[in-house]
C-alpha cells in the first residue's frame, strides 16, 4: 500500500531516532518501514541498555524507540535517565502485551506503549510523526506552564514583600487573598481573613461608604479610587488606612476582582487628632496639611497592568487559584489494566477505503462476550446498523466497551440490551441501551473522563479507561460520545462519528 506524504512538521527536517532493539530482524523491519517514506531519518541503533546509555552520552535524539525486553534489563530503565526539561519522547515496544508493564511504562514517562506486530512495524512512519507531534504539544504546554509559574511567582513576590497591605476582593466583597502586611495591620491570619468580607473588617461608620465605592468600581462607573477609611482589628482596635483600589476586568468588561493597596495611616491620624486637640485655632492649617499629606501612594494600576499583560484574555474566574491548578496538573495516573493498551493504540490506524460492516462487528463482539451474556442470562437485541469508514479494530473497541459495560453494570437481572444506529448524511450514530440502575444525573458528564468510575462502579471490576477510549475514538472521527437516561430506567450510550470518504 502506498504511504502518504510525510507530515508538514517533518518536511525538510532530519529526525534523529535512537532505536534500542536486540532483534536484528525487527531492526531491519523498522529501518525498511522508515525508508519507504520521504523522510530524512538518521537512525542510531543500540542492542542493549548499556549501549543505549553510551549513545545518549554523545547525542540527544528527537525520539527513542525502545524494546521492553533487552539482554541487560528492561527498556523502562532507560526512562529514568531522560527525565527533566531536556527529555525527549520514548515509545516502548513489546512482543507480548502486559498490563502491569504498560502501567509502569506510562507512569515512568513513556509517551506510548505499543504491541509489536507486522502492522505496527509497518506503520512506524505514522507512529514517529504522531509521537513527535504529541511531544511538540507537551513541550509547548510545559513552556506555557513555566511562563505561567514565573509570572505567578513574580506577582506573588511583589504581593508578599510589599510594605503596604495588599488585598484581593471578590465582586461580592469576600477577601480572597491578603498579604502579610495587610494581615499584620488587622491582626488576622490569612486563613481567618478568607472567611470574612471587606465589610466585616470595616468600621461600622465607614461601611456604607465602602459598599458604595466598591459598588461603583465593580459596576464600571469608576476605574479606580483612593480614599481613607477605618478598619477594625481582630482585637477590636480601630486603625486607619489609605486605600487605593482598582479592578481586574475581563474581556467582556465584567469585573473579576479588585486589588486594594492599603497604607497604614493610623499614626498620622493620631497625630492629626492630637494637633487638633492641642490647638483648635490651627484647625484650618492642619486640614490643609492633612489634605497635602493625603496624596496617593504608588498607584495599584501598575499591578493590574502586570496581571493583564501576563494573562490577557485567558484570565478567568479561576485565575486566583491558577498556581494550585498548575501544581495539580498531570497527577491523575492510577492503576491501569489492558484497557490502557487499547487506549494507547487509538489514533494509530488510518480510515479504510471501504466501509466497515457494523453488523458483523457487533456479531463478533457478542461472540466474544458469549460467556458473560450467558452468565447474566440476558439477550442483546440488535437492529440494522449503518456501516461507516472506520478501522474495524476501533469499531470493535467501541461496541466491546459499551456492550461489556452494559453487561457488567446493568445485566444482573437478566434484562435485555438493545443495540441500534442511524445515519444522517455523513454522520453515523450508534447506541447501546440497557435497563439497569442507570447513572446519577450529576455523574453523566464525567463518565467519559479517564479513570472515572462513578458511584455505581466502585464495586465492579474495571479501570475507568473503556469509556474514555470510546470518547477518544469518537473524537478522532469527528464525533462525540454521551449518555442519556433510558425511559423507565437505565442508560443509553450514544456514539456519533463522521463517515467521511475523503478522510
- Concatenate the DSSP letters of all residues of 19-77 into one string: EE-S-HHHHHHHHHHHHSSS-EEEEEEESSHHHHHHHHTT---SEEEEESEETTEEGGG
307/105: higher pLDDT: 105
- Whole-angstrom distance, CA of residue 132 vs CA of residue 138: 10
Contact (Cβ atoms closer than 8 angstroms) between residue 39 and residue 15 = yes
pLDDT of 388 strictly over 80: yes
Band of pLDDT at residue 343, cut at 50, 70 and 90 = very low
Mean pLDDT of the chain: 75
Domain boundaries, the chain: 8-142, 162-320, 339-498
Exposure of 144 in the CB half-sphere (CA atoms within 13 A) = 11
CATH of 339-498, one of 3.30.470.20, 3.40.640.10, 3.30.565.10, 3.40.50.1100: 3.30.565.10
The domain 162-320 having CATH identifier 3.30.450.20: the answer here is yes
pLDDT of 487 strictly over 60: yes
Residue holding cell 469508514? 389
Helix (H, G, I), strand (E, B) or coil at 197: strand
pTM as predicted: 0.35
**What are the DSSP E strand ranges found in 68-128?**
69-70, 73-74, 90-94, 112-115
Percent of the chain with pLDDT over 90: 4
Task: Tell me whether the CATH fold assigned to 8-142 matches the one assigned to 162-320.
Answer: no
For 66-75, b/e burial (b = at least 16 CB within 10 A) is: bbbebeeebb
Band of pLDDT at residue 285, cut at 50, 70 and 90 = very low
Contact (Cβ atoms closer than 8 angstroms) between residue 437 and residue 489 = yes
Instruction: Indicate the fold that domain 8-142 takes in CATH.
Output: Rossmann fold (3.40.50)
Cell of 327: 501544581
Q: β-pairing, 491-498 with 427-433?
A: antiparallel
Cell of 37: 517514506
- The CA distances from residue 256 to 220, 276, 324, in Å, are 11, 42, 18
pLDDT at 9: 54
pLDDT at 414: 66
pLDDT at 496: 93
Q: What's the rounded mean pLDDT across residues 147-166?
A: 74
Go through the chain and tell me how many residues it has: 503
Amino acid at each position: 500500500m502506498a504511504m502518504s506524504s510525510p507530515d508538514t512538521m517533518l518536511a525538510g527536517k532530519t529526525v534523529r531516532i535512537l532505536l534500542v532493539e536486540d532483534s536484528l530482524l525487527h531492526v531491519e523491519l523498522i529501518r525498511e518501514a522508515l525508508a519507504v517514506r520521504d523522510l530524512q531519518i538518521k537512525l542510531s541503533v543500540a542492542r542493549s541498555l548499556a549501549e543505549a546509555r553510551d549513545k545518549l552520552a554523545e547525542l540527544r535524539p528527537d525520539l527513542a524507540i525502545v524494546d521492553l525486553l533487552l539482554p541487560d534489563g528492561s527498556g523502562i530503565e532507560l526512562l529514568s535517565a531522560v527525565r527533566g526539561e531536556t527529555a525527549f519522547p520514548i515509545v516502548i515496544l513489546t512482543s507480548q502485551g502486559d498490563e502491569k508493564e504498560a502501567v509502569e511504562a506510562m507512569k515512568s514517562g513513556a509517551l506510548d506503549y505499543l504491541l509489536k506486530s507486522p502492522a505496527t512495524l509497518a506503520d512506524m512512519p505514522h507512529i514517529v510523526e504522531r509521537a513527535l507531534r504529541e511531544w511538540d504539544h507537551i513541550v509547548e504546554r510545559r513552556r506555557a506552564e513555566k511562563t505561567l509559574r514565573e509570572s505567578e511567582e513574580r506577582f506573588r513576590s511583589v504581593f508578599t514583600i510589599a510594605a503596604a497591605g495588599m488585598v484581593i476582593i471578590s465582586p461580592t466583597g469576600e477577601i480572597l487573598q491578603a498579604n502579610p502586611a495587610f494581615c499584620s495591620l488587622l491582626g488576622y491570619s490569612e486563613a481567618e481573613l478568607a472567611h470574612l468580607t471587606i465589610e466585616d473588617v470595616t468600621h461600622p461608620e465607614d461601611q456604607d461608604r465602602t459598599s458604595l465605592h466598591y459598588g461603583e468600581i465593580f459596576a464600571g462607573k469608576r476605574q479606580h479610587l483612593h480614599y481613607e477609611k477605618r478598619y477594625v482589628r481582630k482585637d477590636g482596635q480601630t486603625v486607619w488606612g489609605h486605600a487605593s483600589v482598582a479592578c481586574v476586568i475581563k474581556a467582556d468588561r465584567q469585573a473579576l476582582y479588585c486589588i486594594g493597596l492599603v497604607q497604614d495611616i493610623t499614626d498620622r491620624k493620631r497625630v492629626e487628632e492630637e494637633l487638633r486637640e492641642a490647638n483648635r485655632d490651627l484647625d484650618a492649617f492642619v486640614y490643609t496639611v492633612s489634605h497635602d499629606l493625603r496624596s496617593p501612594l504608588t498607584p495599584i494600576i501598575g499591578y493590574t497592568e502586570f496581571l493583564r499583560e501576563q494573562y490577557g484574555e485567558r484570565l478567568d474566574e479561576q485565575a486566583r487559584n491558577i498556581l494550585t491548578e498548575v501544581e495539580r496538573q498531570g497527577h491523575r495516573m492510577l492503576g491501569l489494566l489492558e484497557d490502557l493498551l487499547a487506549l494507547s493504540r487509538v489514533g494509530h490506524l488510518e480510515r479504510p477505503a471501504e466501509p466497515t460492516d457494523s453488523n458483523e462487528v457487533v456479531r463478533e463482539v457478542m461472540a466474544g462476550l458469549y460467556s458473560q451474556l450467558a452468565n447474566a442470562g440476558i439477550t442483546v437485541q440488535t437492529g440494522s446498523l449503518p456501516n461507516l469508514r472506520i478501522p474495524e479494530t476501533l469499531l470493535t473497541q467501541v461496541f466491546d466497551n459499551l456492550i461489556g459495560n452494559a453487561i457488567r453494570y446493568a445485566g444482573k437481572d437478566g434484562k435485555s440490551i438493545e443495540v441500534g444506529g442511524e445515519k444522517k448524511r455523513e454522520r453515523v450514530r450508534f447506541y447501546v441501551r440497557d435497563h439497569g440502575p442507570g447513572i446519577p444525573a450529576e455523574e453523566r458528564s464525567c463518565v467519559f473522563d479517564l479513570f472515572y468510575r462513578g458511584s455505581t462502579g466502585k464495586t465492579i471490576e474495571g479501570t475507568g479507561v473503556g469509556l474514555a477510549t470510546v470518547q477518544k475514538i469518537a473524537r478522532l472521527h469527528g464525533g462525540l460520545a454521551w449518555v442519556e437516561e433510558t425511559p423507565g430506567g437505565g442508560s443509553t450510550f450514544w456514539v456519533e462519528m463522521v463517515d467521511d470518504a475523503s478522510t
